[in-house]
Structure 1
Amino acid sequence: MIGGKVAVAVVSLILLGATGYGYNKYSEIVDGYTTANVIDGDAGGPKPADGATDILLVGLDSRVDAQGNPLPKEQLARLNGGKADGELNTDTIILMRIPNDGSKGIGVSIPRDSYVNIPGGYGKHKINSAYGRGKLSEMRKLKNQGIKDQAKLEVESSKVGARTLIDTIQELTGARIDNYAEVNLLGFADITDAVGGVPVCLVKAVNDSFSGARFPAGEQEVSGPAALSFVRQRHGLPNGDLDRIVRQQVFMKSMATKVLSAGTLTDQSRLDKLLSAIKKSIVLNQGWNIVQFAKQMQGMSGGALDFRTIPTGRPDLKTPEDGDAVEIKPAEVKTFVQGLLGGGQASPSSGAPSPSDKPGSSDNKAITVDVRNGNGKTGLANQVSEALGGKGFTAGETSNVKARTTTVIRHARGEKESGDKVAAALGGDFTVEQDTTLTKGHVAVFLGKDYKATSGFAGQPLLQLDPAPALTQQQPGGSAPRIGSNGAPCVN
């Protein structure tokens, strides 16, 4: 049950590219990634015709590494990986669209127990079995051909497993998969250790022998094997896999906040550890130009990513062979996904427009905003600059300045309207004043101790979470969830 490991890895990739801090170092080691030919056109096909890159992110419950070699027993024991049960399941499936115009990306979570048709004559089954069914069929075929090298059998049959899952996702959502990223158990602990742990919050204490999740209620920080257990657990949760999806989305949000606020991307030693962990944890499709992808991420707006979950029906659908499954209506899923991937930022469960869609955002491009951090919180200048970029402003310089008490927005001579726009975007009652030393078209924001992370647009998390029922049903009467001090909601 790999759970959110793929989430951690891809968020790291996006953060490195979106901020630009890690790009140079990132490009130095890119040749070390494992690749697999799993998508038509991997040798260099045409660019996506829809103006965006659709990426399928898959977390595997696999006990072998990317080269097909069994993971050491000691490592499995440390990760509470347990013994293989003879089946290979995909426990995290996220369809992510990264627009080519730099606007906000959207990740669509697909529950592992979704009951869908699996192309290739397999019939209807839980979607997490698509990879395993394709892999097992190819494994038998290769053995019948006389191939005995177990590592080769693992690698070659895995390619067919990936293609079977890709076909399943494309049929279900109507999207075309342009790139593929696959992650297994190996390296998750190193990734979370590299960022110094991730803050989370639980509504109730949990003790789950299946995943090894043993946590008290309330706020806490998890890393290594404990973080893996946190994102793996689904047994004992009121909403099962839907609760686990919420956990994964909250974990991604919290990790992004931690990386940006803790200076991970400017700490060379920590950055090296993070890049090394990502490098050994991911298998990418053969034709994916990951350097180009990193450059694309640099242009992403401050809103960065929204996360949604496909519409589902009853969670206890009785099936002929697969036990209880999550009911799926394919027509609804296609309509939902195509609505999101067609450029809309709001889902049926969240009608509010994204900040970048609000009136006036196109007029903000002519305003370059420099952010000076006198608040004392590490990384805040970059976080605010990214957020203002999501409002359509042009990002200027960021730096730290002498500590100050109040936040001030300064504008060039005769450009008070520009200063007022920035103040409104920050959402606070901040002083706006003229600064004759500023170049025309520039606004300078001086952040003081009165600026709170919860203020205005800039206080919105880098990763927007799905307002799914599972997130509110945990509270009495379906009320809003408790928010931890790190800004993430407390979850089941």
Structure 2
Amino acid sequence: MSRRKRLLVTVSVALTVLIVAAGAAAALLLRSIDAGIVRSDFALPHATKKPDPGEQNVLIMGMDTRVDQQGKPLPKQVYEALHAGTEDDGGYNANVLMLVHIPKDRKQSVGISIPRDDYAEIVGAPLGVTHSKIKEAYGLAMQQRMNELQDDSSLTPDERYQQARAAGRQAQIETVSHFLGDVRIDHFVEMTMGGFYYVSEAVAPITVCLNRATEDSYSGAHFAAGEQQLDARQAMSFVRQRRDTGVDGPELTDLDRARRQQAFLVALADKLKDQSTLTNPKTVAELVGVTQSHVALDTGFDVLGFLDIARDAARNGVEFVTLPIVEFSTIDGAAVNIVDLEEIHRVTAALLGTAPKAGADGSAGASPKTPADPVAGDRGAEPSASPEAPSAPHAAGGSTGPAPSEKPSSGTTAVDSWDQPIRPGTRPCVN
């Protein structure tokens, strides 16, 4: 049975740093995170299960905002590398939503990706909005809280901003929990777009592999086929590309971009596992700095304690799946994904191990399946891409970029479609 995998990178990079940072220098510097990291509380009044100290459900949220956790703009060179506008672009949508479940025995961990355009009930109806894209719960609640606090002279502007963001997190976490069937969420990790750039800069170069040469004027991508090493700017283009604007390039979609992000995380994890990477004081200090400026955690998140849990889970690998959708639709002028909530709850329960065990006929608690429908991609001002990914690679021609290897190494595996699993222990060559 084939399971859809979609690992979105933005906030997942933050978790990857925690998972693989095994060096003593990293552990010592991670202690300094508490001195400056943004933290806030959240509550789940309708969650159906009490906390289990033996397992962990961590919600990863990747924000669309082009500012840091204090609301400050990024340096000009970072905006140039992002190819995503300036601090005035984007917003406070949670464009990455993934529930990472680490079981008690640390085996068969799973990352459950929630398509950001899924049409969902927004818990609390902030600004009077009862239903919308699931990613919008954060921004709606944040704006409502900002409106409530705008005349409160007892608070500084920074305090009002942080309280509003805390309200956004509460609404987003509670909305996701309810959408999944009132599941328990133990912790959250939130990361900004700029955080990814700084992580890439700290550990560059990163080795990736492409099936075909490609270029894209929107993301700034310009790559040859085969294995190649990327700097931070090229890494941003690599993970953001979802179309080819060249003459004879591959036919790409948002699903291929998700696969690029998966491939990049595989490469990033390999780089961070290299002992020399995390015994370099400068590199480790930069990674900790990223966490302090671009990551937010809940007040109960014990970074060093979680490090041990994550290391155990990482030894057995993590499977990433995307929740199914029924169809694409338009509601109130917005393009959304229509979902079957009963199916969402069934699939989630099976993945979390809370569904009834399968009987002799396999009718109850069977392994979840995801439909062949593609997951919705970006729907913005940029031109849309084809709904289907190419079925097979072909030799590159005419495109320039980072120099590829003459021949992929024996450790690479061609991954020809967005729904083909990326197996551990190999470097995937993607579209």
TM over 0.5: yes
| Offset, 1:281 | 2.7
Q: Which residue of 2 aligns with 1:353?
A: none
1:200 counterpart = 2:204? no
1:278 counterpart = 2:291? yes
- Structure 2 unpaired stretches of 5+: 1-7, 245-249, 356-364, 371-408
Q: Which residue of 2 aligns with 1:348?
A: 368
| Offset, 1:209 | 4.2
| Offset, 1:60 | 0.8
- Which amino acid in 2 is paired with 1:136? Q
Number of residue pairs matched by the alignment = 362
1:92 partner SS: strand
| Cα distance per residue 1:121-154 (max 9 Å; x no partner) | 2232222222111111211222254688543333
State how far apart, in whole Å, the 2-side matches of 1:211 and 1:349 are. Answer: 33
* Residues 153 and 68 of structure 1, relative CA distance in 2, 3 Å threshold: farther
Instruction: State which of 6, 12, 25 in structure 1 corresponds to 2:17.
Output: 12
Q: Which residue of 1 aligns with 2:429?
A: 490
1:328 counterpart = 2:339? yes
- Which amino acid in 1 is paired with 2:147? R
Q: Which residue of 2 aligns with 1:294?
A: 307
Q: Which residue of 2 aligns with 1:230?
A: 238
- Contact 2:43–2:170 (Cα < 8 Å) also in 1: no
- Contact 1:33–1:283 (Cα < 8 Å) also in 2: no
Q: Which residue of 1 aligns with 2:158?
A: 151
Q: Which residue of 1 aligns with 2:378?
A: none
Q: Which moved more, 1:68-77 or 1:92-101?
A: 68-77
- Contact 2:69–2:296 (Cα < 8 Å) also in 1: yes
| Cα distance per residue 1:245-297 (max 9 Å; x no partner) | 32222222221123225642344543444334334331111121112111223
TM-score (norm. length: structure 2):
0.72
| Residues 428-467 of structure 1 aligned to structure 2 (within 5 Å) | none
- Contact 1:5–1:228 (Cα < 8 Å) also in 2: no
| Residues 402-481 of structure 1 aligned to structure 2 (within 5 Å) | 470-472=418-420
State how far apart, in whole Å, the 1-side matches of 2:339 and 2:94 are. Answer: 17
Higher-RCO chain (CA-CA 8 Å, sequence separation at least 6) = 2
* Residues 265 and 211 of structure 1, relative CA distance in 2, 3 Å threshold: same
* Residues 36 and 275 of structure 1, relative CA distance in 2, 3 Å threshold: closer
Q: Which residue of 2 aligns with 1:311?
A: 324
| Offset, 1:186 | 3.1
State how far apart, in whole Å, the 2-side matches of 1:130 and 1:207 are. Answer: 34
- Contact 1:6–1:183 (Cα < 8 Å) also in 2: yes
| Residues 30-429 of structure 1 aligned to structure 2 (within 5 Å) | 30-40=33-43, 48-49=51-52, 51-83=54-86, 84-85=88-89, 87-121=91-125, 122-145=129-152, 149-174=156-181, 175-234=183-242, 240-261=253-274, 263-300=276-313, 302-314=315-327, 316-322=328-334, 324-342=335-353, 348-349=368-369
- Structure 1 unpaired stretches of 5+: 351-451, 462-466, 473-479
TM-score (norm. length: structure 1):
0.64
The structure with more radius of gyration: 1
* Residues 88 and 299 of structure 1, relative CA distance in 2, 3 Å threshold: closer
- Contact 2:351–2:368 (Cα < 8 Å) also in 1: no
- Which amino acid in 1 is paired with 2:55? A
- Contact 2:112–2:320 (Cα < 8 Å) also in 1: yes
**Aligned-pair Cα RMSD in Å:** 3.6
State how far apart, in whole Å, the 1-side matches of 2:325 and 2:120 are. Answer: 11
1:287 partner SS: coil
- Which amino acid in 2 is paired with 1:34? I
- Which amino acid in 2 is paired with 1:471? D
State how far apart, in whole Å, the 2-side matches of 1:305 and 1:453 are. Answer: 23
State how far apart, in whole Å, the 1-side matches of 2:43 and 2:296 are. Answer: 16
1:470 partner SS: coil
State how far apart, in whole Å, the 2-side matches of 1:140 and 1:235 are. Answer: 39
Q: Which moved more, 1:247-256 or 1:195-204?
A: 195-204
| Offset, 1:159 | 0.9
Q: Which residue of 2 aligns with 1:395?
A: none
State how far apart, in whole Å, the 1-side matches of 2:93 and 2:252 are. Answer: 20
Q: Which residue of 2 aligns with 1:390?
A: none
State how far apart, in whole Å, the 1-side matches of 2:92 and 2:416 are. Answer: 28
| Offset, 1:35 | 2.9
